[in-house]
Amino acid sequence: MTLSKLEIQQMLREMNVKFDADESYDILKQRLQQANHTAWLKSGAGDPMALGGSRPPVVKKRKRSVAAPVPPPTTDDLSEPLAETPPAPEPSDLPASPRKSPSDFRPRPIEKPEPGKPWKSVSEGTEPFNRKKDVFALVLRRAGICCECCGQPEDKTDSASTLSFCYLDPPDPEGEHSIKNVAALCQTCGQALSDGTLPKTALKKLRRKTRTKLYHDPEVVKKSPVPKNTLSSR
């Protein structure tokens, strides 16, 4: 199998062998044979750098520094008395460590009200954490002082329109009041609910109303952009 001139030039470039561009075919072939022979000799001699190999790392050993020999003690050194170490100081002789001065902060105790009296307002900062809410006040606020079933407003002069709090489901004897189970109804609707004569559609609507949000979402008011003419006039 004979190699062309371009193939020989490519092989010489890969082997990092320099040659002139106008060399003849025979000279290039001779250079290739010489490069192959040199690579073969290096591989036979165990040169790891041949054919793209890498040399093994060289580990250099450090020489140990020999310390000077210690001379043996003489008779004069043995005759001298050894220096005595000072005794450890007692705890009473040690200086007092600086201590932090006590803070002047004293937590204010929560004043418990007398029996039958309410707790102080939150603004005074003495009311304890209490999760119980005034359910009936929230129900009146949700109802808007109107019957939540028929929508009749409350009239102080008419006893039939007086609002009363009714439970949609009987509460647990040890449970707390829930705003979702209490509705403000007039006397007629309250009597129909207690007798079980309230229509199912009205009861379903009432349950849905008690589970809605108590407060409406705040409205976002977007400001109109200021015209550029007014800014330039200023």
Measured over the CA atoms of residue 128, residue 130, residue 136 and residue 138, the dihedral's sign is positive
Q: Check: CB of residue 9 under 8 Å from CB of residue 19.
A: yes
Q: Poorest-confidence range of 128-137, 146-155, 194-203, 214-223?
A: 214-223
Q: What is the pLDDT of residue 136?
A: 78
Cα dihedral 15, 19, 25, 28 in deg (nearest 10): -40
Q: What is the pLDDT of residue 123?
A: 45
| pLDDT tens readout for residues 186-203 | 888 888 888 888 888 888
Q: Check: CB of residue 150 under 8 Å from CB of residue 186.
A: yes
| pLDDT tens readout for residues 55-94 | 667 777 777 777 777 777 666 655 666 666 777 767 666 6
Question: Measured between alpha carbons, how far is 189 from 161 in angstroms, rounded to an integer?
Answer: 10
| pTM for the whole structure | 0.35
- Residue 184, classed as helix, strand or coil, is strand
Residue 166 has pLDDT above 60, yes or no: yes
| pLDDT tens readout for residues 88-118 | 767 666 666 666 666 677 776 666 777 777 7
Q: What is the pLDDT of residue 78?
A: 58
Q: What angle do CA 129, 134, 138 make, to 5 degrees?
A: 130
State how far the alpha carbon of 78 is from the alpha carbons of 23, 28, 71, 145, in Å: 91, 88, 14, 110
Q: How confident is the model at residue 227 (pLDDT cuts 50, 70, 90)?
A: low
Averaged over 25-33, what is the pLDDT?
89
Mean pLDDT score across all residues of the chain = 74
The one-character DSSP state at 161 is G
